[in-house]
Amino acid sequence: MGKAKEKQEEVPYAESHLYKIRHSAAHVMAQAVIEMFPNGKVAIGPPIEDGFYYDFELPRALTPDDLDKIEKRMRKIIKGKYAFERQELSADKAREVFADQPYKIELIEGLESGGYDEYGEKIEEAPVISIYKHDTFEDLCRGPHVENTGEINPSAVKLLNVAGAYWRGDEKNTMLQRIYGTAWESVEELEAYLERLKEAQERDHRTLGRELDLFSFSQDVGPGLALWHPNGGRIRAQIEEYWSQRHREGGYERVYTPHIGKANLWQTSGHLNWYKDGMYAPLTIEEQEYYIKPMNCPFHIAIFKSQMHSYRDLPMRFAEFGTVYRYERSGTLHGLMRVRGFTQDDAHLFCTLEQMPEEILGVLEFSLSILRDFGFQEFDIELSVRDPKNPGKYAGQDSDWKMAEAALISAIEKLGLSYRRVEGEAVFYGPKIDIKVHDALNRTWQITTIQFDFWLPEAFEMEFVGQDGEPHQPYMVHRALLGSMERFFGVLIEHYKGAFPVWLAPVQAELIPIADRHFDYAYDALAKLKAAGLRAEVDDSGDRMGNKIRKAQGQKVPYMLVIGDREIEEGAVSLRLRSGEDLGATSVDDFIAMAQEAVKSKAQV
Q: What is the mean pLDDT of residues 132-159?
A: 95
Among 74-78, 118-122, 238-242, whose mean pLDDT is lowest? 118-122
Contacts 24+ apart (CB under 8 A), 359-362: 359/315, 359/477, 360/407, 360/408, 360/410, 360/411, 360/450, 360/452, 360/477, 361/410, 361/411, 361/414, 361/415, 362/250
Q: Which helix (H) or strand (E) holds 510?
A: strand 509-513
> HSE of 69 in the Cβ direction (CA atoms, 13 Å)?
10
Neighbours of 202 (CB within 10 A): 12
**CA angle, corner 133, sides to 127 and 137, nearest 5?**
120
Residues 6+ apart with CB under 8 A from 193: 50, 182, 184
What residues have CB less than 8 Å from 247, skipping those under 6 apart?
Answer: 254, 319, 347
Question: Which CATH architecture fits 224-257+296-495?
Answer: 2-Layer Sandwich (3.30)
User: What burial class does residue 226 get, using C-beta atoms within 10 Å of its C-beta: 0-12 exposed, 13-18 middle, 19+ buried?
Assistant: buried
The CA dihedral of 75, 76, 81, 87, to the nearest 10 degrees, is -90
Where, residue-wise, is CATH 3.30.980.10 in the chain?
15-202
**Cα distance between residue 118 and residue 107, in whole Å:** 6
Burial of 354 (0-12, 13-18, 19+ CB in 10 A): exposed
Rg (CA), the chain: 28
Is 519 in a helix, a strand, or coil?
helix
Amino acid at 26: A
- Model confidence at 8, pLDDT cuts 50, 70, 90, reads low
Q: For the chain, where do the domains classified as CATH 3.40.50.800 start and end? A: 509-601
| Distance between CA atoms of residues 404 and 396, nearest Å | 11
pTM of the model: 0.87
What pLDDT, in 10s, does the model give residues 82-105?
999 999 999 999 999 999 999 999
Among the listed residues 249, 224, 223, 227, the one whose alpha carbon sits nearest the alpha carbon of residue 236: 227
C-alpha 584 chain-centroid distance: 41
**Residues 509-601, CATH architecture:** 3-Layer(aba) Sandwich (3.40)
Instruction: Kindly state the average pLDDT of the residues 484-497.
Output: 97
Give the pLDDT of residue 168: 86
User: Phi first, then psi: what are they for 374, rounded to 5°?
Assistant: -90, 5
In degrees rounded to 5, what are phi and psi of residue 595? -65, -40
| Residue with more model confidence, 586 or 330 | 586
Residues 237/343, Cβ–Cβ less than 8 Å: no
Please tell me the distance from the alpha carbon of residue 522 to that of residue 347, in angstroms, as a whole number.
44
* For range 164-171, the mean pLDDT: 85
By three-state DSSP, how is residue 203 classified?
A: coil
CA separation for the pair 428, 328 (Å, rounded)? 19
Q: Please provide the average confidence, as pLDDT, over all residues in the chain.
A: 93
Q: Is the pLDDT of residue 1 over 50?
A: no
- DSSP secondary structure of 80-139: TT-B-EEEE--HHHHHHHTTT-HHHHHHHHHHHHTSB-TTS-B-SS----EEEEETTEEE
Least confident window among 269-278, 349-358, 472-481: 269-278
Give the separation between CA 115 and CA 121, rounded to whole angstroms.
Answer: 8
Burial of 48 per CB tally in 10 Å (0-12, 13-18, 19+): middle
The model's confidence at residue 2, banded by pLDDT at 50, 70 and 90, is: very low
Average pLDDT score over residue span 288-304: 96
Measured between alpha carbons, how far is 301 from 116 in angstroms, rounded to an integer? 37
Catalytic residues: 297, 326, 344, 346, 348, 432, 478
> What would the pLDDT profile of 378-388 be if each residue is shown by its tens digit?
999 999 999 88
pLDDT at 392: 76
Residue type present at position 7: K
Per-residue pLDDT at 203: 97
Of 282, 322, 270, the residue nearest 299 (C-alpha) = 322
* Position 310, amino acid: S
Write out pLDDT tens, residues 524-571.
999 999 999 999 999 999 999 999 999 999 999 999 999 999 999 999
Q: Is the dihedral of CA 242, 245, 251, 255 positive or negative?
A: positive
pLDDT interval class at 10 (50, 70, 90):
low
The pLDDT tens digits for 304-343 are 999 999 999 999 999 999 999 999 987 788 999 999 999 9
Burial grade of 68 (CB within 10 A; 0-12, 13-18, 19 or more): exposed
Candidates 596, 587, 584; CA nearest to 536 is 596
Q: What is the pLDDT of residue 427?
A: 80
What is the rounded distance in angstroms from the CA atom of residue 463 to the CA atom of residue 593?
Answer: 52
Q: Give me the helices (H) in 341-380, please.
A: 356-373
Specify the CATH number for 15-202; select among 3.30.1180.20, 3.30.2130.30, 3.30.980.10, 3.90.1150.10. 3.30.980.10
pLDDT (average), residues 408-425: 92
Percent of the chain with pLDDT over 70: 96
